[in-house]
Structure 1
Amino acid sequence: MTTTVMEMESAVVATAIGGDFVTENPNTGIRSAFCWGASFSALFLLVLNLIGRRSSLQASVLTLFLTASLPEAVFQILRGQFGCWVAILAVAANYCFPNFFPASLSRFILFVVMPEWLANELRQSIAGGVFCMLICILLLVLEIHANGGCSSCLCNLQCCAYWLSMALLFFFTILYLCLGSW
C-alpha cells in the first residue's frame, strides 16, 4: 500500500513539474535576450555604417545577421504583407532614384523571399547561433582591416560606439551559444 501511495505522489510531482505548472521553456528567455539584444546592437551598427564610411559589405553582413537574430514577432511582420510592400517600394525607389536610395535598401527583400524552411532552421537551431558567431568574427576582421590594423587605432566617439556595439554582439551571441541547451 505504501508503494502505491509513493507512486501516486511521484506521479503528481512529475505532472506538476513536467507540464501543468511549468509552462515556459528556460531556453525561451535566453533566445529572447539574444534576439532583442543582438538585434538592437546590429541595428545600431547599421546606423553607424550609414553615418560613417558606408561599407556595402558590412551592411550586407549585418542584414544576414538580422535575418538570423530578429525577434520572432518582428520577423513575421517583415515576412508578411508589410514586408512585401516595403520591399517593392525599396526596389522602386532604387530603380527611380539610384542616387538618393542606394541598393542597400533592396537588401530588405531577403526577409521577404527567404524560404520558410531555411528561415525556421536558421532561427530555431544551433546553426543560427553559429552563423551569427561567424558573422561577428567577420565584422571584427572587417573593422580591423578598415582601420588599418591594430597598430593605428583612431579613437573617436563613433569608433567607441562601434566597438561597444561589436562587444554586445559578441556577448549576446556567446551567451546564446553557451546557455542554450541543445
Structure 2
Amino acid sequence: MKITIDNELALRTVAIEDAQAVFALTDASREYLREWLPWLDFTKEVADSKAYIESCIAGFEAQSSLSLVIIFRHEIVGIAGFNAINPSNKTATVGYWLSKDAQGHGIMTKTVKALMHYAFEELQLNKVEIRAAVGNVKSRAIPERLNFTIEGTIRDAEWLYDRYVDHVVYGMLAKEWQALL
C-alpha cells in the first residue's frame, strides 16, 4: 500500500527489505528517540528491526495494525501508522516517530493528516486516538495542530527506562474530522 502526500512525501507499507534502512535510521537517532520511546534498548541490530517489521506485517495481515515507512525526498525518515485497529469498535490508535534530521519540515503533521483521511475514508473508522507522554511537547503538537480533543490523562501509562510517564489521550471522531474539511 502506498499513500502519496505530495511530491516530496509518501507513506508505504513497511517491508522486510526496509530492515537495514529502518535500523540505520533508528541507530542514527537513538539518543534523540530514546527520550520518549521505550523500545530503543531492544533494537540493537538489523535483526531486531527485521523482527519488528515481521510483527508489523503480521499485524497488517490480521488487520489489527498498519505500519508505514515515511518517505521524504526518496529516503525513509520515520515510521507512522496505527499501532492498534479495533474493527469491532471502529477505532484506531496512531503511533509515529521521525528521525532527528527530518524534523522541521511539517512531515509528521502531513503524515498524521493522511492517516486520518485513510482511517475515516478507507477504513470507515469512527474514532482515532493519539497518546503521548505529557512532557513530549513535539509529539503532542501534532494532534493539537490537527484539532484533536484532549480526552484525559492516563497516569503512569508507560514505563520509560527508569520511570513511569503519564500519557495525554487525544481523540478525533469521524464527524469532527469531516467538519474540519
Alignment TM-score > 0.5, same fold: no
Normalized per residue, the structure richer in helix is 1
Q: TM-score, normalised by structure 2?
A: 0.31
The structure that has the greater radius of gyration is: 1
Normalized per residue, the structure richer in strand is 2
Q: TM-score, normalised by structure 1?
A: 0.31
